[in-house]
Amino acid sequence: MYALLISALNLVFITGGALYFKYIFSKKLKEHESKLKINYDNQEELIKNKRDVYIKIMKYMVVMVGNRVSEENRVEYQNNFLESYDEVWLWGDEEVIKDLSNFLRINIELNNGAINQKNRQRLSDELKDAYAQTVLSMRGSLGLSISNLDYEDYKFVYF
């Protein structure tokens, strides 16, 4: 009789424990799913913001490369570049910021009036390469494939 009672109590405790464990596990799983969804939504928003900023700065970086912007639009492009540059520092990945900083370093050196024509051409070529490298970094930052691309694949077209 006692053995039957002990068996019944064991069964109640085991079943109750299992149900309690299932309840806690289910609750924790739902909390975890909710956190994952929030993280996913945040990542989607981050990628969207980065993409928008990258598109904007690429549009205005060209003001520094060759004669790709008319004189009448030059000041507008320069001002928009400065605004976009600040946004990249907020939303951009470190590699993009580093490559963009290298692009600007070369541009500053290129616009130093005390360089000869040979160095001017070399720096002009380096600036184009740095532009393309920055674009590749942006692609990589957005999760796009860059494994078969190189900065030399980007071509500057002038009309």
pLDDT cut 90: percent of the chain above it? 48
Q: 89: number of CA atoms within 13 Å, CB side?
A: 7
Q: Where are the chain's structural domains?
A: 2-153
Helix, strand and coil in the chain, % to nearest 5: 80, 0, 20
Identify whether the C-beta of residue 123 lies closer than 8 Å to the C-beta of residue 107. no
Give the tens place of pLDDT for each residue, 92-122: 999 999 999 999 999 999 888 778 888 888 9
Is the per-residue pLDDT at 38 higher than 90?
A: no
Structure pTM? 0.72
Query: What average pLDDT does range 9-21 have in this prediction?
Result: 58
Task: Compute the mean pLDDT over every residue in the chain, rounded to the nearest whole number.
Answer: 83
For range 62-75, the mean pLDDT? 88
Half-sphere exposure of residue 80, counting CA atoms within 13 Å on the CB side?
A: 18
Quickly tell me which residue has 């928008």 as its tokens.
52
Which H or E run includes 2? helix 2-61
More confident residue, 154 or 34: 154
